[in-house]
Amino acid sequence: MSNARGADRIGQVLGGRYRLLAPIGTGASATVYLADDVVLRRRVAVKVLHDALASDASFLKRFQAEARSAAALNHPHIMAVHDWGQGEVPYLVTELLDGGSLRAMLDAGNFLDLAQVRHVGVDTARALDYAHRRGFVHRDIKPANLLFDDEGTLRIADFGLARALAEAAWTEPAGAILGTARYALPEQAQGVSLDGRSDVYSLGLVIIESITGRLPFTADTTLGTLMARVDRDVPVPDELGALAPALRAAGVSNPANRPDAGEFATMLMAAGDLGSFAPLRLAGTVALQPDQLDPREPTTIYVPEQIVLGTTGSGSTNGPRFADPTIASESLFDGQPPTRAVDRPEAAMVAASARSGSEPRRRISAKVVASVIALLVVLGAAAGFFLLRTPSHTLADYTSMTASVVRSELESKGFKVVEDGIYSETIAVETVISQDPVAGTSLAEGKTVTLTVSLGPPPVPVPSNLPGKTIDQASAALVAAGLKLGVVTDAFDETVAKGIVLSLADGVAAEMPKGSAIGLVTSAGPMPRTIPNFAGKPIVDVTAQLDALGLKVTRVDEYSDTVAENVVISTSPAAGQNAAKGSTVTVTVSKGKRPVTIPASIVGKTIADASAQLTALGLTVSGVTGNPTKNVTGTTPAVGTQVKAGSAVALVTSP
């Protein structure tokens, strides 16, 4: 959108309801305007999409779906979406935040200290956790999308817009993606789908920049920035102190090894005492001049300073300043300061005469006119007070109540709720410890109530010497540290005996809240060996293979009419079954065919009958010793001897 087009929209009323008063932010996808909701008589922010997106039908469909979904998010640290429309231009209506963005703070040199950056990081992580559990991934966490109201309460902006833009058939201006890529993820360069842990990575980068003023792995090009982060974990500078472990976890290149947003918030809170929290030095808000309407950094929001009624003389350098939208629009849109006839009563009379076509018969004194005007102002102010005043409610005493119950009650009365968590040894987790303002205070709707909520006991170090201990020993060590044994899972290990602790479970940090259940991984011993099918293989080869598997062999020999000698018939356990490492496998080996006994019944038979009987037994007749016409008197080997099947037997007759 050109500068002229942005200026032309001033005074335009969108949807018959939202009068655009002044541009307060610009980006590659939209221009943000301060606007007056003429129905509810309140100030709002209106994001007007650029013409290139307005003509993209597929984007508009996605934008509508995302806007409706994002409007359902109800969290104290997520920007409220009031409305959306699609008339002459598509637009999104959100709450107006007067505190400025984190981007504006950093650009002004207002870097955060450790306590401040933890406060911002925890609020952001908790809001992301809320959204992620409802299926939303932001995809564009960066300082420009972290805004503050006039009391310093953080809001995440543009939920849903990044996803809609990612699927739009639209090309951003050359180089426009670079600003977003500064906070991009290794998985984006690899074509991996994004999940909630992607937002955690970007938030970690934002925290590092908020302390140091520098971003790791930032190259001159988008591709260079993305590729610099592939397979490389984010280096955490020494300035991050006790927050370093949490940031190293968030900056892991492999998203599967990163904490989710809820875990990241817990890790930030577990960093210990970082000093007292000083109020943030908010950047405030400032209306943009026409030469600032070209987007300089994509989706960067320049939120204006507090806008007050004043003159609009040519000597002003900070842009238009106004409080009443009607007066502001009249003076700003025609380029002239508002002129009132009461300031020049003579001119008013002349003008009135000109309209009536006759000369004035008498002149009303300036004092009378001033009196009438004063009376009208008083009456108007009184009417405005009763018609437009914001309802108030008296705060109850919420201490000792559950935070979720208090939050619901306060939000139902129109209050904003901010929670500050502190550790307590004596007060149960999620219990309200104190409130600001205190009980009995009359507070207008829309104001913020800060609840100090117990996080439970402070975190304690998790013993690091648990690997190598038995479960009983590890449980005793955890109890001594103020923790308790959690879920125990088994994992095979070739060297560690069964039942011995291998490691802490995934997700267990170096410090955990007191009383936490700590999961452990114990050894299930070596992985069971699956017995191969050894049938028909030589026993020599089978013995070697079982020995390589760490199994022992017991050999059993038996005769077989079908399996050759010294060949395996079967095993126990059978093929396909498991055996523990070091256990014994029984191998049955063939001794060949069963031996044959030379029968005594052949004695006295003729040579022919005896030969037939031996042949039937699987033996062969090798010859006759003696008179072949005589009957058999014996054999060689002798009658009753066991011989192998197929052996040769000689028949013996009488001399």
Residue 344 makes CB contacts below 8 A (sequence gap 6+) with: none
Q: Which residue has the higher pLDDT, 37 or 223?
A: 37
Whole-number pLDDT of residue 472: 94
The three-point CA angle 147-152-154 to 5° equals: 40
pLDDT at 339 over 90: no
Lowest mean pLDDT among 120-134, 213-227, 567-581: 213-227
Lowest mean pLDDT among 22-26, 46-50, 275-279, 348-352: 348-352
Whole-number pLDDT of residue 59: 75
Whole-number pLDDT of residue 356: 40
Whole-number pLDDT of residue 321: 34
End-to-end, the C-alpha distance of the chain in Å comes to: 131
Question: 422 pLDDT band (50/70/90 cuts)?
Answer: confident
pLDDT at 130 over 90: yes
Question: 370 pLDDT band (50/70/90 cuts)?
Answer: low
pTM above 0.85, yes or no: no
Whole-number pLDDT of residue 389: 55
Whole-number pLDDT of residue 326: 31
Dihedral of the alpha carbons of 379, 381, 387, 390, in degrees to the nearest 10: -160
pLDDT at 316 over 90: no
Fold of 459-523: Trypsin Inhibitor V; Chain A (3.30.10)
Whole-number pLDDT of residue 344: 37
Whole-number pLDDT of residue 457: 83
Whole-number pLDDT of residue 10: 87
Tokens of 454: 């117990």
Question: 167 pLDDT band (50/70/90 cuts)?
Answer: low
Fold of 596-653: Trypsin Inhibitor V; Chain A (3.30.10)
In three state form, how does the secondary structure of 215-262 look?
Answer: CCCCCCCHHHHHHHHCCCCCCCCHHHHHHHHHHHHHCCCCHHHCCCHH
Whole-number pLDDT of residue 178: 37
The three-point CA angle 473-478-481 to 5° equals: 130
Output the average pLDDT for the chain: 80
Residues annotated as catalytic (active site), given as ranges: 140
Whole-number pLDDT of residue 158: 84
Lowest mean pLDDT among 509-518, 530-539, 585-594: 509-518
Question: 412 pLDDT band (50/70/90 cuts)?
Answer: confident
Fold of 529-590: Trypsin Inhibitor V; Chain A (3.30.10)
Whole-number pLDDT of residue 169: 43
Q: Which residue has the higher pLDDT, 413 or 179?
A: 413
Residue 199 makes CB contacts below 8 A (sequence gap 6+) with: 128, 132, 137, 138, 139, 141, 261
Average pLDDT over residues 184-197: 78
Q: Which residue has the higher pLDDT, 434 or 178?
A: 434
Average pLDDT over residues 613-635: 92
Architecture of domain 3-292 in CATH? Orthogonal Bundle (1.10)
pLDDT at 172 over 80: no
Whole-number pLDDT of residue 168: 53
Residue-wise pLDDT for 93-109, tens only, equals 999 998 989 999 999 99
Whole-number pLDDT of residue 320: 34
pLDDT above 70 coverage of the chain, percent: 77
Residue-wise pLDDT for 60-85, tens only, equals 777 777 777 777 888 999 998 888 88
Instruction: Match domain 395-454 to its CATH number in 3.30.10.20, 3.40.640.10, 3.30.1780.10, 3.40.1280.10.
Output: 3.30.10.20
